[in-house]
Amino acid sequence: MIAVFKTNVCEADSHSVLQLLRIHFPDSHITIDHEDCDKVLRIAPCHKPDEWVEALLLASGYDCITL
């Protein structure tokens, strides 16, 4: 399953956010599209509930909403 989220992760913070996510999703392909106005985060495959990903980013100080 591919999980898709709207975020407010700026390009300067991408590296640290991607590192954090790769700890929890080591076998997934994770991207943040900074050219999109919604700064779309994609995780494929995502084996955790969307709410879990949202909570992880919210706890790190970022907005994250499932699309």
pLDDT in tens, 9-42: 999 999 999 999 999 999 999 999 999 999 999 9
Predicted pLDDT at 1: 87
Looking at CATH, the fold of the domain delimited by 3-66 is given as Alpha-Beta Plaits (3.30.70)
pTM (predicted TM-score)? 0.94
Q: Where are the chain's structural domains?
A: 3-66
pLDDT in tens, 42-61: 999 999 999 999 999 999 99
How far is Cα 26 from Cα 38, in angstroms, rounded to an integer? 24
